[in-house]
Amino acid sequence: MSNVLVILGSLNQAELSASTQVATAFLEAYTAKNPEATVETIDATEVHDVALTKNIISGNIGEYEQDVLSQRMALLEKFKAADLVVIATPMFNFGLPGQVKEVLDTFAVAGETFKYLDAPDADGNVSVGLSEGKKLVLIEAMGGFNAGVKDVAFAQVELLFNFLGVDDISYIPVQGTAVPGMEETAQRIAEAKDLAATL
């Protein structure tokens, strides 16, 4: 059985969100091919109060801090259970929306999804990812044409998930969503369906 974790980052309604539309097409094609798959969705725009605080770091744990830690652990467990992670998000100022970044930050926990080594390995690495075998699909909508060196969001996602041990990453940029006549949503829906057939 395949466990799919979907992280949505758009503030728009689904029918107005290019990233959500492409993700929906991908999931429909993926689940048609893999009917035994389970799909769990996290709407990052509805996740609140999961950021670490000074009290948490210092060990001063009250009711609020315990709630934050419980929510973080719940998100971490969803990631650990996933075989395939699908992130569908807009680009905000060349990077990830803050709420998406906060959700992704809950996945990076020493001893759970990566560990530090007692000494550097032969390549000089001081840590190793513990999340091998997972696959990741990043669907990212942007108003202009900023895929490539301007896309800090893709760099953030790739670096973080490589650090966690995930190196099977597929990227579908949906460009031109704010440019009349140049929006790529239809093309990327077709690309997403083709990708789903290969995973």
User: CA-CA-CA-CA torsion for 160, 2, 189, 178, nearest 10 degrees?
Assistant: -40
Q: Residue 71's pLDDT is what? A: 97
- For residue 77, the one-letter residue type is E
Tell me phi and psi for residue 6, to 5 degrees.
Answer: -110, 130
Q: Residue 1's pLDDT is what? A: 64
Our CA angle for 55, 61, 63, nearest 5°, is 115
Helix (H, G, I), strand (E, B) or coil at 27: helix
pTM of the model: 0.95
H-helix or E-strand containing 162? helix 152-163
Q: Residue 35's pLDDT is what? A: 96
Low-confidence ranges of the chain (pLDDT < 70): 1
Q: Which of 80, 19, 43, 34 is nearest to 196 (CA)?
A: 34
H-helix or E-strand containing 23? helix 18-33
Structure tokens at 195: 């990708």
Q: Residue 149's pLDDT is what? A: 85
Q: Residue 42's pLDDT is what? A: 98
Residue with tokens 């315990």: 66
